[in-house]
Structure 1
Amino acid sequence: MRLVVSRDYSLPLCMRLRYEPIDPYVVRAAFFTADCAEPVEWVLGRDLLADGLRRSAGEGDVRIWPAVGRGDRAMYITLRNSAGTALVEVPVDDVKTFLQNTEALVPRGTESRHIDWDTERTNLR
Structure 2
Amino acid sequence: MTAQLVVSRAYSLPLCMRLRYEPSDPYVVLAVFFTHSDEPVEWVLGRDLLADGLKGSAGHGDVRIWSAVGRGDAAMYLALGSRMGTALLEVHVRDVKTFLESTEALVPRGTESGRIDWDAELAYLLSQS
Establish whether TM, by shorter chain, passes 0.5.
Answer: yes
% identical equivalent positions: 71
Per-residue CA deviation, residues 42-63 of structure 1 (Å, 9 max, x unaligned), is: 0000000000011000000000
Amino acid in the other structure paired with 2:23: P
Aligned equivalents of 2:71 and 2:11: distance in 1?
Answer: 18
Match of 1:17 in 2: 19
Q: 1:124, CA displacement in angstroms?
A: 1.1
Q: How many residues align?
A: 123
Deviations 1:55-103 (Å, cap 9, x if unpaired)? 00000000000126343x2100000000000000001111001000000
- CA–CA distance in 2 between the matches of 1:83 and 1:36? 15
Query: Which residue is equivalent to 1:112?
Result: 113
The Cα offsets for residues 15-41 of structure 1, whole Å up to 9 and x where unpaired, read as: 1000001100010000113x3331100
1 CA distance for matches of 2:29 and 2:72?
Answer: 25
AA matched with 2:14: P
Cα distance in 1 for partners of 2:91, 2:72 equals: 11
Task: Output the CA distance in 1 between the equivalents of 2:37 and 2:116.
Answer: 34
Match of 2:125 in 1: 124
SS of 1:119 mapped into structure 2? helix
In structure 1, C-alpha distance between the alignment counterparts of 2:5 and 2:71, rounded to whole Å:
18
Superposition pairs of residues 1-125 of structure 1, within 5 angstroms: 1-33=3-35, 35-67=36-68, 69-71=71-73, 73-125=74-126
Separation in 2, partners of 1:83, 1:43 = 17
Task: Look up the equivalent residue of 2:4 and give its one-letter code.
Answer: R
TM-score (norm 2): 0.92
Q: Is there any run of 5+ residues in structure 2 with no aligned partner, and where?
A: none
Q: CA deviation at 1:13?
A: 1.1
